[in-house]
Structure 1
Amino acid sequence: MNVFDKSLSPSAQDPSGNPSREGSSCLGEAPLEHQGFTNRHLLLPIPCCVPPRAMCSGKLQTGLLVAGYFVYLLVGAAVFQALERTAEKQQKMAAAQMKEAFLQNFPHLTVAEMEQFMKNLTEAIQNGVYPVGNESQTENSNWDFSNSFFFAGTVVSTIGYGTLRPKTAGGQIFCVFFALFGIPLNIVFLHRVGKMLSLLCKKLGKFLYEKGMRKKKIKFLTLLFFLVTGILVFLCLPSLFFQITEGWSYSEGIYFAFITLSTIGFGDYVVGKQPGRIYFSYYRTLVAIWILFGLAWIALLFNLLTKVLEDTEKIIVKDLHQIVKVSKDNEESQPRRCWPAHFLPEEEVISPCAGGDAQKMESLAACSEQKKT
């Protein structure tokens, strides 16, 4: 579902035909339609200009939406932390005891006991518990506030890496209701952020138009600004940061960034989960904020690519219809030739049929003989 619907309504006009104040720009200038630069000159979905009072109301609504959205994530992170952290401590203690028992009894373990140990070890790793090193594993929690906030962001954005998930019954039930209301809230939030990004492109286009630049060039430069800035801010620079922090290659950072922002979320690369690496506090919180704003940009990018593909499809279909029409016109313009029956090849002469058809064929043959004589 494309959450970025286009709200490109024309400016209101009074009965005299002159644009009203609703159609003027927010800075008290002439209407954008009279300036010659309108929303239709950009492919991005850009909201129309509004009067100052409506603009202040829109800013207030945006501020309340952003504040409410992050409060929702903070409350969800606190609840997940309270529900899951105790159960995680118990899992880590059990994993440490399992590891100690294995080291003490390793020479005397049977094949069945070894298989059971491997099974328990696999389950511990799947639950985010890595029995590597010493007691430092019990100090670092997968459900501290930073990781819980990151998990809450992946839930409402529907990324779902699968490496961190609630284990308790209370955490699982809360996750259901948290996602039930959080996903629609996330859609509304991304919609509003997308409008803000589009408004930046609109202001850039207006600035370039006032400098005397042509409309086609303005359209190209605004789209170039949108693409280059987004790729740099949401893909290239974060990938370099992940390369330094996570120890990945730069290509792996690009791969992780795109897979995450496109909400594919394979889970093969996840930030803050490399054993033996030390991360600064609230590292995953910053990554979650990057994800939330990056989702808005890539959704606009997908919307732009969808429009380009649809326009290309329309052009191709139109050309095909034109080709078919021209070919039909050429066929109809050519004169049709009727050949007498005695000039047809023998293999094309219809063989006489039985019954009434045979009599008709005989009468036709007799008529043709009379005409010859």
Structure 2
Amino acid sequence: MRVVMPGCVGDLRNHPTLRTLLIMLTMIAYLVMGAKVFQTIEGPLEEEIAENINRLKMTFINEHPCVSDDNLEALLDEVIRASNRGVSASRNVSGGPNWSFGQSLFFSSTVVTTIGYGHVTPLSKQGKLFCMAYALLGIPLTLVLLSALVERLLLPATAMLRSLNAALGHLYRPFTIRLVHLTIIVTMLVVFFLLIPAAVFAALEPEWDYLDSFYYCFVSLTTIGLGDYIPGDYPDQPYRPVYKVATTFYLIFGLTFLMLTLTVFYDIPQLNLSTVFSSVKLDEDPEKMRLSGSGVMGPGYGIGGLVMRDDYNHHDQRRSVVHIRPHLDDSPSPEDTTPVHARDIRVH
């Protein structure tokens, strides 16, 4: 018999409206908190830059009395408008065209991966129409490609989990082993797709320090794509097309490994917060449990149809591991992480 205390997870699952309202209030509070923090941090710097620009403009007008304030404002408006559309007025010719093949390939990758930096945009009506049609087909195609790559990467990731479980299964609980496995995957993501690429970008970009480069890698791989830092846009950047193509491949492989990390994370029921607000509990819906590949939470700890329970035999005090397999065949499951010494106990 399960007793549900007022205000706990069980009440949220039984009241979808209350659950949705709680999520909305939490999201609103999070947005308000973020707005206040950004306002406090960035507001003074914005005012300082604005004062500096006004001072420079007045100095320019005083030194060039033949230039009126209106003419200068008109020129600045055109420069800003062109800059917002990806055309820089600062030594733009020496930097190369925005729509070379390398630049265009980089732009195409930011469209289909939904990063969308916004630093370069289609200027013509035909380009805007093609961009919409291109994204409409390219985004689903990219998701299919990333899913296929993640599926292949799951093979060595699962093999690593099996090795960890075989080596540590007699010492630690399955949840602990899953955390070790997740930690290894996250470490690989941070080192090979954030720290090392950030060092490379800091070395190649003259105006970036290491924090700027790390910030760019994080914003890009999380598909935020603010567009304030774009690799290869320095006017005298050597081998700019090759640089853009290499960055395109980095983004694709980085997004793939990020999806792998999220897959491993959400495969741990104890860390999957979506189950807290789920209106249907997995242990009450066998079909959903089978399709999701998640084990039943409760006395046992399981993932992918693997349920590990801490039952103790009163005679030998040994831990028993029960492997519940939903299939009728005897072929090993790819998610079978049961230790070798515990595979003698199976329930079919």
**TM-score, length basis structure 1:** 0.50
**Displacement after TM superposition at 1:270 (Å):** 1.4
**Displacement after TM superposition at 1:107 (Å):** 5.0
**Displacement after TM superposition at 1:299 (Å):** 2.1
1:168 corresponds in structure 2 to 124
Aligned partners of 1:130 and 1:275 also within 8 Å? no
1:228-267 to structure 2, matched below 5 A, reads 228-247=187-206, 248-267=208-227
The Cα RMSD (Å) is 3.4
1:120 corresponds in structure 2 to 78
What is the one-letter code of the residue matched to 1:288?
T
Q: Separation in 2 of the partners of 1:298 and 1:143?
A: 29
Which secondary structure state, in structure 2, belongs to the residue aligned with residue 142 of structure 1? coil
**Displacement after TM superposition at 1:124 (Å):** 2.2
Between the two proteins, what is the percent identity of the paired residues? 30
1:223 corresponds in structure 2 to 182
Which secondary structure state, in structure 2, belongs to the residue aligned with residue 165 of structure 1? coil
Q: Separation in 1 of the partners of 2:272 and 2:115?
A: 31
Q: Separation in 1 of the partners of 2:70 and 2:146?
A: 53
The verdict on how the C-alpha distance between 1:135 and 1:316 changes in structure 2, with shifts beyond 3 A counting, is closer
**Displacement after TM superposition at 1:307 (Å):** 5.0
What is the one-letter code of the residue matched to 1:301?
T
- Structure 2: 5+ residue runs without aligned partners? 1-59, 282-348
1:272-287 to structure 2, matched below 5 A, reads 272-287=232-247
Q: Separation in 1 of the partners of 2:143 and 2:157?
A: 21
Aligned partners of 2:205 and 2:234 also within 8 Å? yes
1:184 corresponds in structure 2 to 140
1:371 corresponds in structure 2 to none
Q: Separation in 2 of the partners of 1:284 and 1:130?
A: 18
Q: Which has the higher strand share?
A: 2
2:89 corresponds in structure 1 to 131
**Displacement after TM superposition at 1:277 (Å):** 4.0
Whose radius of gyration is greater, 1 or 2? 1
Q: Separation in 1 of the partners of 2:276 and 2:78?
A: 60
Aligned partners of 1:259 and 1:265 also within 8 Å? yes
**Displacement after TM superposition at 1:300 (Å):** 2.8
Q: Separation in 1 of the partners of 2:210 and 2:239?
A: 19
**Displacement after TM superposition at 1:168 (Å):** 0.8
**Displacement after TM superposition at 1:130 (Å):** 2.5
The verdict on how the C-alpha distance between 1:309 and 1:162 changes in structure 2, with shifts beyond 3 A counting, is farther
**Displacement after TM superposition at 1:224 (Å):** 3.4
1:146 paired to 2:105: no
Q: 1:134-173 CA deviation, whole Å, 9 max, x = no partner?
A: 8535xx1111111111100000011111111110111111
What is the one-letter code of the residue matched to 2:197?
P
1:214 corresponds in structure 2 to 168
Q: Separation in 2 of the partners of 1:128 and 1:284?
A: 15
Q: Separation in 2 of the partners of 1:303 and 1:131?
A: 44
The verdict on how the C-alpha distance between 1:230 and 1:134 changes in structure 2, with shifts beyond 3 A counting, is closer
Q: Separation in 2 of the partners of 1:183 and 1:271?
A: 23
Q: 1:70-94 CA deviation, whole Å, 9 max, x = no partner?
A: xxxxxxxxxxxxxxxxxxxxxxxxx
1:158 paired to 2:114: yes
Q: Separation in 2 of the partners of 1:125 and 1:146?
A: 20
1:301 paired to 2:264: no
Which secondary structure state, in structure 2, belongs to the residue aligned with residue 116 of structure 1? helix
Q: Separation in 2 of the partners of 1:298 and 1:267?
A: 20
Aligned partners of 2:221 and 2:258 also within 8 Å? yes
What is the one-letter code of the residue matched to 1:174?
F
What is the one-letter code of the residue matched to 1:224?
T
- Structure 1: 5+ residue runs without aligned partners? 1-101, 319-373
Q: Separation in 2 of the partners of 1:239 and 1:191?
A: 26
Q: Separation in 2 of the partners of 1:280 and 1:255?
A: 21
Question: How many residues are aligned here?
Answer: 214
What is the one-letter code of the residue matched to 1:171?
G
What is the one-letter code of the residue matched to 1:132?
S
Q: Separation in 2 of the partners of 1:263 and 1:242?
A: 18
Which secondary structure state, in structure 1, belongs to the residue aligned with residue 167 of structure 2? coil
Q: Separation in 2 of the partners of 1:316 and 1:124?
A: 47
Q: Separation in 1 of the partners of 2:92 and 2:160?
A: 56
Aligned partners of 2:182 and 2:261 also within 8 Å? no
What is the one-letter code of the residue matched to 2:199?
L
